[in-house]
């Protein structure tokens, strides 16, 4: 531990400025009713002494911290392994920094730690929370609700029941999935498979729904469940080749999954796109460009989603609807997606 | 923003438990002097109502938050691009979680934001701070000192002046560098170059000193400056080939730098290790195993360093000396390194 110099007190500032303790307190807390000349003297003393007001005490009065918590509902190992989170955090960080707000990332080892995250949020340390990668049955939304901090979710939260005013930023997952599958149909493919994401997340459910919108009455064996990871994509692709050797196209729930599927297809001697066409989701760079062959995918602007989440939280609900977007409730935004064609389909 | 249910108050808990407000307050703040039967009734009411005490208020009394801040003195883009930080955070996260402490990662866009980090640390939101990747002239140590929070540094802080009691966890960078260069000498190499890390960091300076310990009177043109990144390693290797075409070995300040150097050597038609032997530092997996050829390197246990930082902070200074280690001041730990031989030297 550092051997710290004593922290300058309010009293020291008052003595230096030649004013009362109450005057210093009023100036520090931005209150009115202090003459300009005294405000100036207090400010000078604060600066000279390097006085930092006790924010825990001050926040009881002002209830502002200029800090926003970010909670990724995944173990920290996944937060650092999946570039999706780094991109979303990049957008959030830029926006918060532009408004001189501190980004407070609350990392956990897993869901068992979410109660502790709830306690921190409830503890008066932040002005709001940005929460993403929620899974069904996660206690977080309940804990956050109880903590009473303003919150914006990344991705439509999946809990049941109607809660008006829940703000979120999402991509048009269902529409994007439909575009991908329609493109495969347009290429003349008939045995089009889908490798899902983690189906306890709304993004995965929405993309599956988009697939089903186009592939009405699809052979159920053409749907293989995975979890948004490359390893999951490999496993699912092996299952599909086993169950349906005549598969001629795959729509994977994200680029990492598609990358895993491509590896298994190559091992099995299938040519992409000649034998099997493959489409991903995200347009995560450099992943999507460096697969072999480069990946056709559904682009969503992940960094922009992060920026919008932060903006929505800082502005408050009234400003939420002024964004371009294809839909969303009063204080939410749903961004459009675009199909990006490369070599794999 | 979420439309939140009203947060249960202290008064509501008191009413439910049939006790006074003061009694609830005493129980919640862990105070003594309350009969067991009343403690039980209050606890039950707290649980039933989902009451969360206002920690901002409570912390004024108890001064405990069960939260530890982590500050990486790099822009968030580097935090997510360099696996070194993920590994160190992994160790910290495991240790803090084991003690039910919340890891609060304070991300920034760069040094301009460090004053804001200082304000957050001073604001009574955490019980201590773990700080790593410090650069010389960074205002952070001064700001942290002023904030008055107990701190452990990752890597020996480089500021001048004698500050007793500064706690840090470091690797034996100088000894590890000596081992690497001696190994190259043992291989019969005579034109041994060094690609440095960022020389405003003590780890880079110490590794350079270790190189100089062995290569007394080394040709100064054999030292090229870089910054711990692959791009820096590429640039420095080009400079070295240009200045000293007879170079027959390279000790790079870390594995990422070595990976960059290997790429340039391959492009220039040099065989590794036949023409030029290469050694890195870190033993960062999978980087060190996946270079071509696999990298001989100086291993430091990065995850363990993170764990030790957290342990030192949670235990306090008195416990610091009980660790194994090759040196360090009263409350610091310096861990030994090991040379790991693979194909590159």
Q: What is the CATH number of the domain that holds A53?
A: 1.10.260.40
Q: Is residue A1 part of a domain?
A: no
Among candidate residues A138, A171, A174, A175, the one with its CA nearest the CA of residue A156: A171
Instruction: Give the start-end residues of each E strand in chain A.
Output: 67-72, 102-107, 128-132, 151-154, 167-171, 192-195, 223-224, 249-252, 277-282, 296-299, 333-335, 338-340
Partner residue opposite A93 with nearest CB, options B103, B107, B123:
B107
Q: What single-letter DSSP state applies at residue A6?
A: P
Interchain CB distance below 8 Å, A2 and B163: yes
Chain B residues with CB-CB distance to A62 below 8 A: none
The pLDDT of residue B8 is 72
Do A106 and A215 share a structural domain? no
Chain A, chain B: beta-carbon pairs less than 8 Å apart: 192
Q: Is residue B153 part of a domain?
A: yes
Distance between CA B250 and CA B259 in Å, rounded? 12
Q: What single-letter DSSP state applies at residue A327?
A: B
Minimal-distance CA residue of chain A relative to B168: A1
Residue A337 pLDDT > 70 = yes
Interchain CB distance below 8 Å, B86 and A80: yes
Do B182 and B96 share a structural domain? no
Do B131 and B49 share a structural domain? no
Mutate to test the interface with A, among B2, B47, B92, B144 (most CBs of A within 10 A): B2
Do B310 and B297 share a structural domain? no
Q: What single-letter DSSP state applies at residue B148?
A: T
CA B49 to chain centre: 40
What 3-state class would DSSP assign to A46? helix
C-alpha count within 13 angstroms, C-beta hemisphere, residue B267: 11
Tokens describing residue A321: 């609807």
The pLDDT of residue B165 is 65
R_g of chain B computed on alpha carbons? 25
* Averaged pLDDT, A197-208: 96
Do A189 and A290 share a structural domain? yes
CA of B180 vs chain A CAs: smallest distance (Å): 30
Do B281 and B224 share a structural domain? yes
Instruction: Give me the interface pTM, i.e. the ipTM.
Output: 0.76
The pLDDT of residue B6 is 59
* Averaged pLDDT, A72-99: 93
Partner residue opposite A60 with nearest CB, options B57, B165, B316:
B57
Mutate to test the interface with A, among B1, B90, B112 (most CBs of A within 10 A): B1
CA of A158 vs chain B CAs: smallest distance (Å): 14
Partner residue opposite B90 with nearest CB, options A76, A123, A164:
A76
* Count of positions (residues) in chain B: 345
What 3-state class would DSSP assign to B86? helix
pLDDT digits (tens, 9 = 90+) for A41-78: 888 887 777 776 655 455 444 567 899 999 999 999 98
Do B243 and B150 share a structural domain? no
Among candidate residues A339, A203, A325, A200, the one with its CA nearest the CA of residue A277: A339
Minimal-distance CA residue of chain B relative to A164: B3
Interchain CB distance below 8 Å, B80 and A76: no
CB-based contact A297:A255 (threshold 8 Å): yes
Do B130 and B185 share a structural domain? no
Q: How do the pLDDT tens digits run along chain B, 345 residues long?
A: 344 455 677 888 889 999 988 888 777 766 567 888 888 888 888 777 777 665 545 544 556 789 999 999 999 998 998 899 999 999 999 999 999 999 999 999 988 899 999 999 988 899 999 999 999 888 888 888 888 899 999 999 876 544 556 899 999 999 999 999 999 999 999 999 999 999 999 999 999 999 999 999 889 999 999 999 999 999 999 999 999 999 999 999 999 999 999 999 999 999 999 999 999 999 998 889 989 999 999 999 999 999 999 999 998 754 444 344 444 444 789 999 999 999 999
Do B213 and B110 share a structural domain? no
| Residue range(s) defining the domain that contains residue B101 | 67-170+303-335
The pLDDT of residue A3 is 40
CB proximity A60 to B under 8 Å: yes
CB-based contact A4:A52 (threshold 8 Å): no
CB proximity A293 to B under 8 Å: no
The pLDDT of residue B267 is 96
Interchain CB distance below 8 Å, B94 and A116: no
The pLDDT of residue B320 is 40
CA of B75 vs chain A CAs: smallest distance (Å): 10
Do A296 and A186 share a structural domain? yes
Longest dimension (CA), chain A: 87
Interchain CB distance below 8 Å, A1 and B94: no
Among candidate residues B8, B4, B101, the one with its CA nearest the CA of residue A141: B4
Q: Is residue B344 part of a domain?
A: no
CB-based contact A274:A257 (threshold 8 Å): no
CA of B76 vs chain A CAs: smallest distance (Å): 7
* Count of positions (residues) in chain A: 345
Chain B residues with CB-CB distance to A55 below 8 A: 119, 122-125
CB proximity B12 to A under 8 Å: no
CA A48 to chain centre: 41
Q: How many domains does chain A have?
A: 3
Interchain CB distance below 8 Å, A109 and B97: yes
Chain B residues with CB-CB distance to A148 below 8 A: 4, 6-7
Distance between CA B270 and CA B248 in Å, rounded? 10
Do B166 and B307 share a structural domain? yes
β B277-282/B296-299 pair status:
parallel
What φ, ψ does residue B293 adopt, rounded to 5°? -75, 165
- Binned at pLDDT 50, 70 and 90, residue A314 comes out as very high
The pLDDT of residue A319 is 43
Residue A199 pLDDT > 90 = yes
Distance between CA B14 and CA B4 in Å, rounded? 22
What residues form DSSP beta bridges with A299?
A282, A338
What residues form DSSP beta bridges with A224?
A195
Interchain CB distance below 8 Å, B151 and A50: no
Query: Concatenated DSSP letters for A99-120?
Result: TT-EEEEEE-SSGGGHHHHHHH
Q: Is residue A343 part of a domain?
A: no
* Averaged pLDDT, A7-32: 80
Chain B residues with CB-CB distance to A88 below 8 A: none
Q: What is the mean pLDDT of chain A?
A: 87
Window 75-104 of A: residues touching B by CB (8 A cutoff) are: 76-77, 80, 83, 86, 89-90, 93-94, 97, 100, 102-104
Among candidate residues B261, B318, B313, B315, the one with its CA nearest the CA of residue B292: B261
CB proximity A5 to B under 8 Å: yes
Among candidate residues A221, A225, A245, A243, the one with its CA nearest the CA of residue A233: A225
Mutate to test the interface with B, among A123, A152, A318 (most CBs of B within 10 A): A123
Q: Is residue A344 part of a domain?
A: no
Q: Is residue B127 part of a domain?
A: yes
Do A26 and A92 share a structural domain? no
* Averaged pLDDT, A309-328: 61
CB-based contact A337:A175 (threshold 8 Å): yes
Distance between CA B45 and CA B16 in Å, rounded? 6
Tokens describing residue B94: 């495991």
> Domain holding A72: CATH number?
3.40.50.2300
Minimal-distance CA residue of chain B relative to A157: B2
Distance between CA A323 and CA A280 in Å, rounded? 27
Distance between CA B106 and CA B131 in Å, rounded? 10
CB proximity B139 to A under 8 Å: no
What residues form DSSP beta bridges with A170?
A334
Minimal-distance CA residue of chain A relative to B162: A3
| End-to-end Cα spacing for chain A | 58
Chain A residues with CB-CB distance to B107 below 8 A: 89, 93, 103, 105
Distance between CA B91 and CA A60 in Å, rounded? 34
Q: Is residue B1 part of a domain?
A: no
The pLDDT of residue B12 is 86
Q: Is residue B93 part of a domain?
A: yes
CB proximity B55 to A under 8 Å: yes
Cα distances from A236 to residues A48, A82, A175, A247, B268, in angstroms, run: 64, 19, 23, 13, 42
């Amino acid at each position: 531990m550092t051997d710290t110099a004593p922290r300058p007190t309010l009293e020291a500032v008052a003595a230096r400025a030649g004013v009362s303790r109450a005057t210093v307190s009023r100036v520090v807390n931005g209150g009115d009713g202090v003459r300009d000349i005294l405000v100036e003297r207090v400010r000078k003393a604060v600066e000279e002494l390097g006085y930092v007001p006790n924010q825990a005490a001050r926040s009881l009065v002002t209830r502002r911290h200029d800090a926003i918590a970010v909670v990724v509902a995944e173990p920290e190992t996944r937060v650092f392994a999946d570039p999706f989170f780094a991109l979303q955090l990049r957008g959030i960080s830029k926006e918060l920094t532009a408004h001189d707000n501190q980004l407070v990332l609350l990392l956990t080892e897993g869901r068992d730690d979410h109660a502790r995250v709830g306690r921190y949020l409830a503890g008066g340390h932040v002005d709001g929370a940005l929460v993403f990668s929620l899974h069904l049955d996660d206690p977080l939304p309940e804990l956050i609700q109880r903590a009473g901090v303003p919150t914006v979710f990344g991705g439509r939260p999946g809990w049941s029941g109607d809660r008006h005013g829940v703000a979120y930023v999402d991509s048009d997952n269902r529409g994007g999935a439909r575009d991908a599958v329609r493109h495969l149909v347009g290429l003349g493919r008939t045995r089009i498979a889908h490798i899902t994401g983690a189906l306890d997340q709304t993004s995965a459910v929405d993309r599956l729904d988009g697939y089903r919108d186009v592939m009405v009455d699809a052979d159920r064996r053409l749907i293989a469940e995975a979890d948004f990871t490359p390893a999951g994509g490999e496993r699912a692709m092996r299952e599909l080749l086993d169950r349906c050797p005549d598969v001629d196209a795959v729509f994977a729930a994200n680029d990492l999954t598609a990358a895993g599927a491509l590896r298994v297809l190559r091992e099995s001697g299938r040519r992409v796109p000649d034998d099997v066409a493959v489409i991903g989701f995200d347009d995560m760079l450099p992943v999507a460009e460096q697969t072999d062959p480069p990946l056709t995918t559904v682009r969503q602007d992940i960094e922009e989603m992060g920026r919008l989440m932060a903006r929505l939280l800082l502005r408050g609900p009234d400003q939420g609807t002024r964004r371009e977007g294809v839909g969303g409730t009063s204080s939410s935004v749903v961004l459009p997606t675009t199909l990006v064609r490369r070599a794999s389909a």
